[in-house]
Structure 1
Amino acid sequence: MNFRGLVPEEAWADLVQRGQRRQYRRGAVLLGQGETATAVIALTDGIVKVAQSARSGERVPLALRGAGEVLGEMGALLDHRRSATVTAVTACTGYVLPAHAFRGYLARHRLEGAVYRLAVERMQENENLHAALIRLSPRARVARVVGHLAAEVGTPDADGAVSVQLGMDREELAVMAAMSRSSVMAVLRDFHATGVLTLGRGRLVVNDSVALAELSEE
């Protein structure tokens, strides 16, 4: 579920109409951790990566987000600094709206509750994912993370395969799975060999979603 799927179509159209259209090249930073939350971005095309810098200096990927998302909304609502950095995984198009205008937009359409509900659901989803990783086997950990990313930004084709533009290297994927890079690669190669998924540069294709789901419960 994303913001667009949560609100009426006319409310989404109103948001886009009120924003200033911006295009972002691959690798561009849309929002920076620690910045003042002066605006939000309604993403209409492309995929972005949300990552957080830990005190150790390690960059921890949190999520991938696609078209239909609103980025930076909680900082704008709570008047907090950005808690994470958002980077374009692919070329993106977004509509930028000042924070005060976004708050007014939510009030007009009575969407404050929807925004907070989406935030809570996302928080619970991430907590459940991380809690599960503690008890799962390495194969199940990788399957769970890949399935999570496919659900967020996967693009299905006519044959039922789901293509996922990762926008992260194997090291970042390993951080998400709470594993070493070599362990993650060993599992991914095994999944590739058995046809569950196909590995590509910066992307993967889930060929068998049912098998992946079964693997995630091992």
Structure 2
Amino acid sequence: MADELGLLDELEEPCRAIIAQQEARTAADSSGGRAPHTPPLHDDGGDAADNDNVLLAARAYATLAAIHTNRGQLHEAEEEASRCVELTRSVLGDDHKDTAASAAGLQAVQAARTVVAAAAERPDLQPRNPKTREEVALLAELARDDAFNPVRIATLLADPALNPNIQDEDGSTPLMLACVGGQPHIVDALLKAGADVNTANKV
């Protein structure tokens, strides 16, 4: 997946170049008195080369929309998906399957923006502060080479705001550290506090 996203990012500059070329052609046509929108391909009077260039620009906009969606930049993605629909429709008409596909892509981006906006209004879905002072103290206590301080750990775990799944720089959680340290009572306390047994670290 990471390789695929990296490949997608590499397409950004070529896509922008394609769009810039099409915008330059459109500007030249407008200044020369030609209509800025090309006729549909099924129109015998249409210029096939112009139509191909417009459709290529539409695909470039669709690719940019995908890139920005993956980055979470949904405002930019919506603008690019909308432009893709506009260009595709100008060449192929409303009833073509490619126009319908580009419209579906735009609707998907708009739906994603709606979901993100709704989530932003819900406090329970906001990202937690990854390391409060108490969480840092818990990791430090469990990472000690000498004996744990069970009273200190119990006090920290008694805080309902503490995240029992906080991870250190290696991705290790308090539960992992307690297991490595051979502290079954602390393991039990962490599980009761909501520790996730499926979390993986980086090592």
**Is TM > 0.5 for Structure 1 vs Structure 2?**
no
The two structures have a TM-score, normalised by structure 1, of 0.28
TM-score, structure 2 normalization: 0.29
Tell which structure's C-alpha radius of gyration is larger.
2
The structure whose residues are more often helix, as a share, is 2
Answer 1 or 2: higher relative contact order, Cα 8 Å, separation at least 6: 1
The structure with the largest strand share of the pair is 1
